[in-house]
Amino acid sequence: MDTIYVIDFGGQYCHLISRRIRDFGVATKIVPSDVSVEQIQDDPAACGIILSGGALSVFGKDAPVFDARILSLPLPFLGICYGHQLLAHHLGGVVRPGAAGEYGVTPLSVVSRTGIMKGLAKKESVWMNHRDVVSRIPRTWEKTASTAHSAIAAYASKDGRIHGVQFHPEVSHTSRGDMVVKNFVFGVARCKKSRSSRSLVESLVVETRDVIGARRTIIGLSGGVDSSVAAALVSRAIGSRLTAVYVDTGLMRAGETTEIRATFRSLPLKLRVINAQKRFFSALRGVTAPERKRKIIGKLFADIFLEAAKKEKAEVLVQGTIYSDRIESGITKHSSIIKSHHNVGGFPKKFGMQVYEPLRDLYKDEVRALARTLKLPQSILERQVFPGPGLAIRIIGEVTPDRTEIVRRAHVIIEQELRLTPFWRSIWMSFAVLLPIKSVGIQGDERSYRSSIVVRIVESRDAMTANFFRLPYDILEKISTRITNEIREVNRVVYDITNKPPATMEWE
């Protein structure tokens, strides 16, 4: 599988480069800046190297460690921003601090419309984010573009192997950036398209067998798409040596446990559904503080999982961590395939198992594509995100089985009604929250004094911020009427019209 290596110099756009190339159907590997020459040289699939942007100066004391022997590999190179400067710095050019920085959308004059600049217009609009500039290049290279502050905004070696662009072709603000990257990948590096979900499944199956060998392995299923795909994939590689553990905390959405059983029963893994409802409800008895609830749930979950892992004599722990999880946790360095410990999901280090994350380099939509290839049901693919502590953080006050059932039933009504509307796909999350206050109502000519439900529906791109969803009143009315009609304990429904910030999506 032809592969483009993307060397990560800490630029926030590194994953975008990889994303673009994968969209073209070509495999990528993101590697840290201190990757050794051997790692790339020993990979027969390597067909080109991209050096990413980065925030530092190539001549600064704190410049990232880089094995310059990589530049002697007989492969084509594309340097972007920091990478553009790094190639010049190591290969006989000069880099200097610029008289002024260039930030944002910048006009570019294209001098030579060949190589990676093929197909561009004489004047282009590109996105810049730099202060240092390449001020001289070796005689065997030529300048291919310039801007007001970067006389050498792009260059190419005359033999067509080395290319540099000061601008960022990977961001959408560079109007024809895709063309530049495509020219490098197909025109210069001559990569063949190979990346399909099917080939990805095959290569991940091979990797999984390599990594796990004959060891017993365990995975926690949450019902979400990531852990489901990781389980389906690993089971394809090692069969029943994988035990998938699903802990039914009693705080799951309606039907979730049944669906997990139905989906995973047919796969060649060992499924263990642990009914732990009683343990969770008894641990939560009398607890009302949100953080205490989270801690109790997290600890009990880890204890139960650890008991299962011990029983199974598991040596490897598979986790469904995906690429964006790693970016969000501030992991800019490429994590190794296997780590001796891991803290994601609240699992303590004492777990002592090796962690394997087969989806670590994949983006959410790639994981969804894998789910389709692995024939996981549509319902798993379409699931809204759901918090680890489950319905407990949507029950204000004490978490009891009865109160959980009220929230669960209200959630079902909200989801059923929204699925009938064209808005369903635009909604990030929709759920019910049970308040600890009662209010007076009139139901069937009688005074009632019952619970209140909050309907929370939000839209968001990345969970960091969110807006309440501006749902038409008639749909809200239908939801409200069904909740008060069908759930006897509730006589009042309110709609949460707060954005995040200042509120969070969840209530606790």
Specify whether the CB–CB gap between 56 and 138 falls below 8 A. Answer: no
| Of positions 248, 303, 496, 506, contacts ligand XMP by CB under 6 A | 506
Q: Does 500 bind ligand XMP (CB under 6 A)?
A: yes
Q: Is the dihedral of CA 163, 167, 168, 172 positive or negative?
A: negative
Q: Is 312 one of the catalytic residues?
A: no
Q: Which is nearer to ligand XMP, 24 or 363 (CB)?
A: 363
Round to whole Å and give the CA distance between 383 and 130: 41
Least distance in Å: CB of 464 to ligand XMP?
8
If one counts every other C-beta atom within 10 angstroms of the C-beta of residue 36, the result is 12
- 187: which DSSP letter? I
Q: Is 81 one of the catalytic residues?
A: yes
Q: List Cβ neighbours of 261 (8 Å cut-off, separation of 6 or more).
A: 271, 273
Round to whole Å and give the CA distance between 123 and 223: 51
Specify whether the CB–CB gap between 3 and 45 falls below 8 A. Answer: yes
Q: Is 328 one of the catalytic residues?
A: no
Q: Does 79 bind ligand XMP (CB under 6 A)?
A: no
If one counts every other C-beta atom within 10 angstroms of the C-beta of residue 328, the result is 12
Specify whether the CB–CB gap between 191 and 4 falls below 8 A. Answer: yes
Q: Which is nearer to ligand XMP, 243 or 430 (CB)?
A: 430
Size of the chain in residues: 508
Round to whole Å and give the CA distance between 260 and 183: 45
Least distance in Å: CB of 428 to ligand XMP?
7
Total residues interacting with ligand XMP, rule: CB under 6 A: 11
| Of positions 385, 420, 440, 497, contacts ligand XMP by CB under 6 A | 385
Q: Does 290 bind ligand XMP (CB under 6 A)?
A: no
Round to whole Å and give the CA distance between 46 and 195: 14
Q: Which of 254, 258, 281, 274 is closest to 401 using CA atoms?
A: 281
Q: Does 76 bind ligand XMP (CB under 6 A)?
A: no
Round to whole Å and give the CA distance between 232 and 92: 50
Q: Which of residues 463-492 bind ligand XMP (CB under 6 A)?
A: 463
Give rounded-to-5 percent helix, strand, coil for the chain: 35, 25, 40
Q: Which is nearer to ligand XMP, 55 or 385 (CB)?
A: 385
Amino acid at 131: R
Q: Does 387 bind ligand XMP (CB under 6 A)?
A: yes
Quote the crossing angle between the two packed helices 225-238 and 197-212, to the nearest 10°. Answer: 70
Q: Which is nearer to ligand XMP, 167 or 431 (CB)?
A: 431
Query: Interacting stretch for ligand XMP, rule CB under 6 A, among 149-157, 181-189, 374-382, 499-507?
Result: 499-507
Q: Catalytic one among 15, 130, 168, 334?
A: 168
| Of positions 429, 457, 471, 487, contacts ligand XMP by CB under 6 A | 429
Question: Binding string, 227-266, against ligand XMP, x = CB under 6 A?
Answer: ----------------------------------------
| Of positions 389, 430, 490, 492, contacts ligand XMP by CB under 6 A | 389
Q: Catalytic one among 124, 130, 163, 170?
A: 170
Q: Which residue is listed with tokens 């490897």?
A: 316
Q: Which is nearer to ligand XMP, 10 or 387 (CB)?
A: 387
Least distance in Å: CB of 308 to ligand XMP?
20
Residues annotated catalytic, as ranges: 81, 168, 170
Residues interacting with ligand XMP, by CB under 6 A?
294, 385, 387-389, 429, 463, 500, 504-506
